[in-house]
Structure 1
Amino acid sequence: MFSVTRRIFTAGLLAATVLGAGAAHAADLKELKIGYQKTGLPVIARQQQLIEKALEPQGITVSWVEFTAGPPLVEALNVGAINVGWTGDAPPIFGQSAGSAIVYVAALPGNVGGEAIVAKAESGIKSVADLKGKKVAVGKGTSAHNLLIAALEKNGLTFDQIEPVYLAPADAAAAFASDKVDAWSIWDPFLAIAETRYTPTVLVRSPEVLKVNTYFLSNRDFAKENPAAVTTVVGALKVAAEWADANRDKVAAALHEVTGVPLEAQTLAANRAEFGIFPITDEIIANQQATANRFYKLKLIPNAIKIADAVWTPPGN
């Protein structure tokens, strides 16, 4: 615990040296609002109170706001209802195309095996190709939306050859349970819950068709005015990643404690998760740009975008 505390202190100390045009505004910051979902690194950081401990020397408290999916989280960032947050790859693309005031701060590993398209075994659907003409539940503008599009393309289908049923995860879960849809494109922990309840047929997992990341985002003005706070949070998330990798046997319990998702499902999700947070590289930008181009070509987003325009550069870099 001493070493973890020391790393938190060091991260906060380094962040305190960050200089920028918004430094004067940072002194007025009293509360940091973080948007999160029921899985991943931010949940670990919350359970360990790592961000709270890192920001305490700056006199900043932390509040957590839960979202079921990335699109509403991005909209909350846009309007300033939250300051920072974590989503999959697709939501910031939809947000940027719509003019949302967001920036990419850092990248995290993708969902690896924790995002997939599934169908119940009794449905008779055994492959992505079998989805032609079928109803597929998916959250519009989510990372699972991107997975669905990419999986169809790889299997010789176009998006208009299925019937997408746009639903939030909880509603999609109900539709899947009652057989109102034929398949479901979804991420952990909702995927893990479905796997433990129904033992469905997994048609494809994200890494089989995509090379993507998840992202730590910020409201654009907030990042400009409070670079030290943003840098401190990233440092605390790095400590959370180190803890998760060194304590994998405790990760599921930590996720369960914060989210209330059944321990069996969180164990499944935690065992296949990757933890880390790192700078956004040219390769990451290129992969994200390819996704944005795909969405624009399909007319799923209203405007063509340049991902690099929304990447935050810390002062001094």
Structure 2
Amino acid sequence: MPMSRREFLSAVSVTALGLSATACSSDDGGGGGKGGTVRFGYIADYNGASLLAVAEQRGLWKKHGVAVSYKPFVNGPIQIQALGSGDLDYGYIGPGAMWLPASGRARIVAVNTLTFADRVIAKPGITSLAGLRGKRVGVPEGTSGEMILNLALGEADMTMDDIQKVAMDPPTVVSAFSAGRIDGAGINYPLIDTIKKKVPDLVEVASTEKTGGNFPTAFVAGQKADRARDLKVVRVLQEANDWRAAHPEEAVAAAAKLLKVPVATVRSDASHVRALTTADLVAKTKDGTVAGWLDAMSDFFVKTGQLKKSPGADSFYAGDVYTEAAG
């Protein structure tokens, strides 16, 4: 039996796009939306929300002279669309949406974490990816769910043509898998934890933990740069990042408060995340490590057809802004 709307919203904190949680300073500097407020999008999970939760709780926006409002989204591609239409100033994306800034539709202003939360899951009785051949597999297109599905299919010498791909947004994947309307899915934690409440014996047939490689998450801005504003925003993210690294349990609690979900739920989600300090990210930006992560992602998306060619990371990662902000 599918979960009710109330149960689902409570479990994953995916609110209607018209709602927002707001953290504003008394300073209208920083540009952006109405009254100079910077409009910041996020996904309702630890990766997407923890730095914003810390920044709000610690008063970092006010400290750096930025007025801000938060707005939740169900995935990264929708935020990229909002950036392009001028309805959003900054947002958060996971690794599966990295092809969008690489295609010139946004700029990465800060790397957030490395994540290993993505899985291909199957209904009980299917024990390998080959068991999904000819089966209905739900996937949010353009996201990390599609990314892990493509990776897994390649490792199994299969393609999308070998399955019945069903494009769904993340909430629909949760309800469809839970109700048995699909046989498998490309999806991520913490949504998998929600699915397990209905299908505890689901099978994880592929995982980014086992594929190798690094899968960065990031904060993005629109194509038109506002360097002064970018520097302010990135400094907030960097300070929040270092506080999160030094206080992991408190950061989990802050994210849980913002998302209105149990601390244990967020703690489980955070277990699939590798956090890095700002100093480490600055060093990795300067020595080309971050560019290597992004180039590897772009090369992958060329293989999947989501990119026509692999651009240089410096064309869409504002590494100079990140290093200057830390200086």
Q: Give the TM-score normalised by the residue count of structure 2.
A: 0.76
8 Å Cα contact 1:51-1:236 kept in structure 2: no
- Gaps of at least 5 residues in structure 2 are 1-27
Write the mapping of 1:1-317 to structure 2, written as runs, cut at 5 A. Answer: 30-50=36-56, 53-97=59-103, 99-100=104-105, 102-112=106-116, 114-121=117-124, 124-199=125-200, 200-211=202-213, 212-245=215-248, 247=249, 250=250, 252-261=252-261, 265-276=265-276, 278-279=281-282, 281=285, 282-301=288-307, 305-312=311-318, 313-314=320-321
| Distance of aligned partners of 1:47 and 1:186 in 2 relative to their CA distance in 1, 3 Å threshold | same
Instruction: Give the match's secondary structure for 1:126.
Output: coil
8 Å Cα contact 2:40-2:68 kept in structure 1: yes
RCO higher in 1 or 2 (8 Å CA, sep ≥ 6)? 1
Task: For residue 95 of structure 1, report the CA deviation from its aligned partner.
Answer: 4.6
Instruction: Give the match's secondary structure for 1:63.
Output: strand
Aligned-partner Cα distance in 2 for 1:48–1:189 = 19
Q: How many residues align?
A: 285
Aligned-partner Cα distance in 2 for 1:269–1:58 = 29
8 Å Cα contact 1:51-1:233 kept in structure 2: no
Aligned-partner Cα distance in 2 for 1:270–1:134 = 31
Structure showing the higher helix proportion among its residues: 1
* Cα RMSD after superposing both structures: 2.8
Aligned-partner Cα distance in 2 for 1:316–1:176 = 43
| Distance of aligned partners of 1:134 and 1:301 in 2 relative to their CA distance in 1, 3 Å threshold | farther
Task: For residue 50 of structure 1, report the CA deviation from its aligned partner.
Answer: 4.1
Instruction: Give the match's secondary structure for 2:59.
Output: helix
Question: Cα deviation per residue 1:60-97 (whole Å; 9 max; x = unaligned)?
Answer: 21100101111101222223322222211231313542
| Distance of aligned partners of 1:148 and 1:209 in 2 relative to their CA distance in 1, 3 Å threshold | same
Task: For residue 49 of structure 1, report the CA deviation from its aligned partner.
Answer: 4.1
Instruction: Give the match's secondary structure for 1:197.
Output: coil
8 Å Cα contact 2:252-2:266 kept in structure 1: yes
8 Å Cα contact 1:251-1:270 kept in structure 2: no
Q: Give the TM-score normalised by the residue count of structure 1.
A: 0.79
